[in-house]
Structure 1
Amino acid sequence: MLSTEHTIRELIERSRAAQKIAEGFSQRKVDELAAAIVYTFSRPELAREIAEECVAETDIGNVESKKAKLMNKMPAIFYQVKDVKTVGVIDRDPEMGITKIAKPIGVIAALVPSTNPEATPIFKGVLGLRARNAVIFAPHPASKKTSMKVVDIMREILEKNGAPKDLFICIDQPSKDLSQELMRQADLTMATGSGDMVKAAYSSGKPAYGVGAGNAVVVIDETADLAETAAKIRIGKTGDNASGCSAENSLVIHESVYDEMLELLQLQGGYLASPEEKARLQEVMWEDGHLSRDIVAKPVDRIANLAGINIPDNTAFLMVKETGVGKDYPFSGEKMSLVLTVYKYSEFDEAIDMVNRITSYSGFGHSCGIHSNNQEHIMQLALNTKTTKVIVRQPHGAANSGAWFNGLANTFSLGCGTWGGNIVSENVTQKHYMNTTWVAEPIDRQPASEEEIFGDLLATVNV
């Protein structure tokens, strides 16, 4: 039996051989290969087949949402990156004498979470390929069949288009030890998964782009269109059974619209748990302080049944009222399930404080949102919270990773800045998959005078 180190070394050697060939590919060649991959997976029949097999294997999420990731989300991602140059000279600034040249990273280790094993390999594979890298995928053991199938299809597309299929390799018997060794030997890790794996990526001795935990908190003030807001929250909350890190986790609602908002959420399929039902729900959702796998991204009726709650047939998600934040109030944390926590506030400063307290406990740096038509409130929230994104009047779960209806980079990897223990505070996209060489030529520029450098900035300071 091969050692872990030797097993990964063999995969790395195969990847490097393939990557050396890809290094000679033109921009047109990598774009054609990427287009073929995205198009193939966006076909309805294959998308549904993979989605159904994924849900059957993992018991996470739902078929329609996973199908939509392949048919809608990945084409949107490709549309956004396809004009980004990744080969040769990518930018020139004659005035500053600067020329930028894109170069491959080499071999990328791609961690694949069990919550998104159908789309993450395509996303990381396509962006890696466009930058002429090879990618080795480390799937979660609970979703390895799905990830293996997806990677095998990508390999077939490469091979029949004259590219080495070993540009994509998937570990067929994944384990934590193999993933850690892969991160140690690869040139860069794209880490998506549990907090432990992200920390391991940063401790591997190699560069890594990690993501942070989600726990999106959304403020609803008195100026919001409440009916429209309720509909958007249902969309954002229920996508893929709330498996994504961007799904709405808590609402902070102004007291003047609190009751009406709850009524409208119930019309959208929300079920408001009684205090007794909330207590039973808490018992089944957490085991020894950790989320139970029995509720993560599971259908709402299954969660309700576990807690002994009788819900109407049209229920889309559960709601619980909360006032506290922190370890003693687990509903204030990330739930990765069709359970939504609701808070009430009176003054807007109180809402900002609530967002900060909740995200400091869970989801630091990730994102928050607001439904408001008060621009001052929107900017107050953005200026005074430690989150990398503030989503305004949109379904948070659908908008935070980029969408046709906003200007964010479409992605499946969301950086949370130093607050979340990450090196990036933006959505990870094509530029993060390549190295850049800067060519600097001499320019005709004279040194600035002291007056030009300092201006009036020293007029009222002691020096």
Structure 2
Amino acid sequence: MHILVDMLTDVSHALQGEEPDRAPGEKMYESTDHDHIANLVEKARQAQAVLNTYTQEQVDLLAGAIVYTLARPDLASRIATMAYDETKMGLVDSKRAKLTHKMPAIFHDIRKEKTVGVIDHDAENGITTIAKPYGVIAALVPSTNCEATPIFKSVLGIRARNAVICAPHPASKKTTLFVVDVIRQVLRSLDAPEDLVQCIATPSKSLAAELMAQCDVTMATGSGDMVKAAYSSGKPAYGVGVGNAVVIVDETVDLAATADKIRIGKTGDNASGCSAENSIVVQASIYDGFLRELEKAGAYIANAEEKAKLQAVIWEDGHISRKVVARPVSEIAALAGIDVAADRKFIIVQETGAGAEYPFSGEKLSLVLTAYKYDSFDDAVAMVTAITDYSGSGHSCGIHSTDDARILKLALETKTSRVIVRQPHGAANSGSWTNGLAKTFSLGCGSWGGNAVSENVTQKHYYNTTRIAKPLDRSEPDEAAIYGPLFDKIAAVRIEAGA
């Protein structure tokens, strides 16, 4: 621990100056996109060659030091404020908590996993598994999480002995550059190559595309277009899908407690995350009472006229307006020209259908929640399916119920990778101390959402594996053993020759 404290003092002294206006280590010169990125990648490969010689203890120290430094309250507050000032999105408190609480929680989980050398030995099957780095990772960084994503991807990347190059969103490059500069200072303080983590100083789509083409693998977090570009880069990529979390509320739960959970999930970082509740589907017998509880929790229930005004400002040319993304209720209300009390924390609109004709059934990335009413539970599941088929297929859904049969039915019958039970969806979906999901900032959505994985992207997705297979002293079983209890029925099948 004394190493971290001494190192933190050195880093803190270095941070007294101005924030960098370009990426540390990046030359500012006229060049083609290819040459510009090639310069970064070459430095990354040189640094990664050094990291490739590190032991598990050494990479753990680097990763832990990065998390520990950026989790210090003063520095975390500075970064959170910087992110808000630059983007005008989210909440300073939420962004600070990502650094002071979420990242340490992530590190607590991943440090238990071996990432260097032999990581598993299966004596029964004679298989020894070895972890090996990808090489250089292209890390796409969204403006909605510009403060935490570069830390997350750098820490997991370094633990698996990779170098990482961040491609920030143009609207949040100052914050991402600053975070990367801190990481580089931590690396220098521990005599590790600082070019293990770099950042594009003047981000653009063309430079991001070139980065993805030259790196070994892309960790894609951002807009749907950027994730598609990652999959089209010609290199492997881990992407995330569109979020549009739908949460069922049935009559078996405490309404007041459930309303408060939805408030927590919906309002975290002003609903900037893909896991924030976007719609609730409420049993008809409790619908009116539950809306009253949501009002007590801070909701404003919009009427039909106000709903139309909100629709006019939330979407521009079919896309969510940046003027509402992760903005306060007061700003959204002012844009729409509706009068909402200053103490209201989110807005509810009531809806009946899903699809393009019902835009409120889609992802909103704002403090606007859509409410539906259902009669039978089959209707509720059908509504979840209709909504996620329109927007958010493969991502997540939730349920507030004490009926295990209903919970299982929802999980069995929807195309979702996660089903969050009786928890604030926005806070629990990416893993938390109160559930067993891997803690992450990247959520895979499976083939339904156009992704390679249908789980939370975590440490195991940041390295290659080699398997040693030794010979076993066992013989080939007969057909009865191969087919087991199916054998008699299979053996009875008869077909015509040539059919």
How does the TM-score come out when normalised to structure 2?
Answer: 0.92
Equivalent positions of 1:20-419 (< 5 A) are: 20-419=49-448
Which has the higher mean CA deviation after the structures are superposed, 315-324 or 283-292?
Answer: 283-292
The residue aligned with 1:457 is 486
Please, which of 31, 37, 42 is the counterpart of residue 8 of structure 1?
Answer: 37
Is the 2:139–2:219 contact (alpha carbons within 8 Å) kept by the matching residues of 1?
yes
Contact persistence 2:479–2:487 (CA under 8 A)? no
Aligned to 2:427, the other structure's residue is in SS state helix
- Structure 1: state its 5+ residue gaps: none
Report the Cα distance in structure 1 between the residues aligned to 2:224 and 2:352, rounded to whole angstroms: 27
Q: 1: CA distance between counterparts of 2:100 and 2:180?
A: 17
| DSSP-derived class of the 1:99 partner | strand
Alpha-carbon separation, structure 2, partners of 1:132 and 1:218: 39
Residue 161 of structure 2 aligns to a residue whose secondary structure is: coil
Matches within 5 A, 1:424-435: 424-435=453-464
Q: CA deviation at 1:458?
A: 4.0
Give the CA deviation at 1:309: 1.5
State how far apart, in whole Å, the 2-side matches of 1:96 and 1:266 are: 58
TM-aligned CA deviation for residue 447 of structure 1: 1.0
**How many residues are treated as equivalent by the alignment?**
463
Q: Deviations over 1:153-203 (max 9, x none)?
A: 000000110100000000001100000000000000000000011000000
CA drift at 1:313 = 2.2
What is the CA–CA distance in structure 2 between the aligned matches of 1:458 and 1:330, rounded to whole Å? Answer: 53
Unaligned runs of 5+ in 2: 1-29, 495-499
Q: Matches of 1:458 and 1:348 in 2, distance apart?
A: 40
Letter in 1 for 2:53: G
CA distance in 2, matches of 1:163, 1:213: 37
1:290-333 residue CA offsets vs partner (Å, 9 max, x unmatched): 11111000001110111111112210000000001111111000
Query: Residue type matched to 2:322 in 1?
Result: R
Conserved? CA contact 2:480–2:487, under 8 Å: no
Moved runs in structure 1, 4+ residues, more than 4 A? Answer: none
Sequence identity (%) = 64
Shift, 1:95, TM fit:
1.6
Q: Distance in 1 between matches of 2:360 and 2:150?
A: 32
Contact 2:66 2:183 in 1 (8 A): yes
Paired residue secondary structure (1:367): strand
Separation (CA, whole Å) in 2 of partners of 1:86 and 1:122: 18
